[in-house]
Amino acid sequence: MQDMTDFINQVKRANDIVDVIGNSLELRRSGANFVARCPFHGERTPSFHVNRNKQIFKCFGCGEAGDVIGFVQKYESCSFMEALEILAKRAGLKMPENISDEDHSQEKKKRRDRLLSVLRETAVFYWRMFYSSVGANARRYMENRGFSAETLKTFGVGYSPDYNSLPDYLTKKGFTYREMADSGVVQQRQDGSCFDALAGRLIVPIFNINNQVIAFGGRSLEKNPQFGKYKNTSDTEVFSKKNNLFAINNAKKVKQTSGLQYLVMVEGYMDVLAMWQAGFTSVVASMGTSLTEQQAKLLSRLTDRAYICYDGDSAGQKATVRGLDIFAKEGLEVRVMSIPENLDPDEYIGKYGKESFAQLLDKALPLADYKLKLLEQEFDIKNTNAVTRNDAISRYVKGALKVLSEMDDAQQQQYVKTVSVKSGFSEDYLKRKLAAHMRGEPVVVQQPVDTEMKALQFIASCMLCNQPYAKVKVPQCDDAFLSGVFRYIEGLKGADAFADMVYTVCPDATAQQYDSVLSHEFSKENYQKDKQYFAECMSLVKEHRLKQRRSELLEQLKTADEIASESLLEEIQKINKQING
């Protein structure tokens, strides 16, 4: 029984680090070391050093460092045991059974290799059929969608002509029906015979991160309600949807050749092909499953940042958020893309071009911003009805506190300001409620007092009662009742108002609304006090309108180009001066 440490040492001594790295990178001698361009962060000037005497590598650009096993782990995006096995095989050493986990048992490995052979031959068969005479319709379909020969070759696109050709082909290759069924490429009938369940479909092979074919996706070429648009091979010993990502093998190649700053995750195969062809090569697809911890771990092997590009329907958005939390817990920086018109990436690129899609990437929201945006969409905090708006604001704040509680201290400081602007609650109030929420205490958010509404009601009351200080321009107002009152006053063009006309110009108002502008008693004793309060109300309404406009401009700034941004920033600065003044 060989000791683990002894075997690791044996593998490392049998694999010179310069020889191993030299098989993947172009090394050149520089003094006592060898240098190359780092494969882990993409660079023009070599800063990746390999020291043969110490058998270590170090990149002085990104900081990556380690031994020969560490390099293989990082370069191949694999686990320690997988890297050890790769190097052992390279040196002609056999993995000792006592230090191999279950996945490395000889019997299981032999069976796995056999299933992978079935899948590899199946991919070859589909590919040949695609380029044969029987695949003419499939080729025409892909050409009509604008896919190039290079894209089709990169992804190994194929075609399944019928139910029986694949089983017949694999039988001639020496595979049994049982092996075909266990690999997922065929289904068995009751009589024991097999058929290709993807018959008549365009085929896209699914590879694992080690570039091995593990499954297939099929797309119908005809619109037939009895014939589902998409169909995949079922989960097997070598394939599980929740553990894999379509095109992860290509993403790994990108990382190895030019570095991988981020990955974009989409839903469908065709989205990946369209994005790849448009030049967005850092892309994978989840194959229609909910986002999983295993997929997050797979992504984190390749990159630190993930862009999620999913459907825009509300149910899909909520499901996406649940998955994104899983990704964030794996240490990934998550950003969410929004595609206008609920288009798929494939459709959007075809309609608006790759430059426009690149702008969507630039405008992608950090996860926290996306969650708060969903809360805004769910709760109508800008409703013109005060009762509805106040209820929505309370619900919005409760949801926002949950989002804030998941952040670190620095982020909380930043986003408390955002929630304060949106809700109207002070930052101090929100911080107290957040602290209570994080202590696990039940949090009751009070109904916000709509000071602007009270101010507008008093202004209308002063104007209806012809107070001398109220002979000013009527303010803008979103409330339907008060808008009616102000329209009446504006229409007088300076003439005296009659308070009872409120019942005529706003016949459908409630008693509470009438009282809000008619119940105040004006007197000589309170004249100066009312005059001062009127001025304060006018100032408050103006300030509220300025802040509202500033919020609108800040939203526009998130999606504006460089030229438009300059103009928006100028207007924002002017508003800030007015508010501060």
Query: Does 446 fall in a domain?
Result: no
Within this chain, do residues 329 and 351 fall inside the same structural domain, yes or no?
yes
Per-residue pLDDT tens over the stretch 160-194: 999 999 999 999 999 999 999 999 999 988 777 88
The CATH number of residue 30's host domain is 3.90.580.10
Among all chains, which residue has been given the structure tokens 């929100």? 430
Query: Does 312 fall in a domain?
Result: yes
Query: Does 444 fall in a domain?
Result: no
* Mean pLDDT of the 205-232 span: 85
Domain boundary among 185, 206, 239: 239
Q: Which residue has the higher pLDDT, 320 or 546?
A: 546
| Domain span holding position 418 | 379-438
Percent of the chain having pLDDT more than 90?
A: 33
Amino acid at position 523, single letter: S
Mean pLDDT of the residues in the chain: 86
250: alpha, beta or left, given left = phi > 0 and alpha = psi -120 to 50?
alpha
* Mean pLDDT of the 361-374 span: 90
Within this chain, do residues 76 and 186 fall inside the same structural domain, yes or no?
no
Query: Does 443 fall in a domain?
Result: no
Within this chain, do residues 534 and 487 fall inside the same structural domain, yes or no?
yes
| pLDDT higher than 50, residue 370 | yes
- Specify the range with the lowest mean pLDDT, choosing from 7-11, 39-43, 437-441: 39-43
Percent of the chain having pLDDT more than 70?
A: 93
Q: Given pLDDT bands bounded at 50, 70 and 90, which one contains residue 500?
A: confident
Within this chain, do residues 517 and 415 fall inside the same structural domain, yes or no?
no
The answer to whether the beta carbons of residues 63 and 86 sit under 8 Å apart is no
Beta-carbon contacts of residue 262 (< 8 Å; ≥ 6 apart): 282, 303, 305, 306, 307
Angle 88-94-100 from CA coordinates, rounded to 5°: 90
| pLDDT higher than 70, residue 295 | yes
The phi, psi pair for 417, rounded to 5°, reads -60, -45
Q: Which long-range contacts (CB under 8 A, 24 or more apart) does 440-443 make?
A: 443/398, 443/401
**How far apart are alpha carbons 271 and 215 in whole angstroms?**
18
Per DSSP, the residues of 163-209 read SSHHHHHHHHTT--HHHHHHHTS-EE-TTS-EE-TTTTEEEEEEE-T
Within this chain, do residues 111 and 194 fall inside the same structural domain, yes or no?
yes
Give me the number of domains the chain comprises: 5
Q: What is the pLDDT of residue 126?
A: 97
The answer to whether the beta carbons of residues 487 and 463 sit under 8 Å apart is no
Among all chains, which residue has been given the structure tokens 């032999």? 110
Domain boundary among 66, 87, 102: 102
Identify which of 145-159, 404-418, 439-453 has the greatest average pLDDT: 145-159
Q: What is the pLDDT of residue 198?
A: 93
Angle 404-406-410 from CA coordinates, rounded to 5°: 65
Q: Which residue has the higher pLDDT, 235 or 77?
A: 235
Within this chain, do residues 469 and 423 fall inside the same structural domain, yes or no?
no
- Specify the range with the lowest mean pLDDT, choosing from 137-141, 251-255, 296-300, 575-579: 575-579
| pLDDT higher than 50, residue 315 | no
* Mean pLDDT of the 64-90 span: 86
Q: Given pLDDT bands bounded at 50, 70 and 90, which one contains residue 61?
A: confident
Token pair for 492 = 């007088």
Q: What is the pLDDT of residue 23?
A: 86
Q: What is the pLDDT of residue 314?
A: 46
Within this chain, do residues 260 and 365 fall inside the same structural domain, yes or no?
yes
* Mean pLDDT of the 490-507 span: 89
Query: Does 445 fall in a domain?
Result: no
Q: What is the pLDDT of residue 386?
A: 66
The answer to whether the beta carbons of residues 458 and 520 sit under 8 Å apart is yes
Q: What is the pLDDT of residue 2?
A: 56
| pLDDT higher than 60, residue 513 | yes
* Mean pLDDT of the 6-35 span: 88
Q: Which residue has the higher pLDDT, 131 or 319?
A: 131
Within this chain, do residues 84 and 32 fall inside the same structural domain, yes or no?
yes
Q: What is the pLDDT of residue 568?
A: 83
* Mean pLDDT of the 99-110 span: 62
Beta-carbon contacts of residue 286 (< 8 Å; ≥ 6 apart): 245, 246, 265, 266, 267, 295
Token pair for 459 = 């202004």
| pLDDT higher than 90, residue 393 | no
Query: Does 417 fall in a domain?
Result: yes
Within this chain, do residues 368 and 389 fall inside the same structural domain, yes or no?
no
Within this chain, do residues 79 and 118 fall inside the same structural domain, yes or no?
no
**How far apart are alpha carbons 446 and 119 in whole angstroms?**
61
Query: Does 521 fall in a domain?
Result: yes
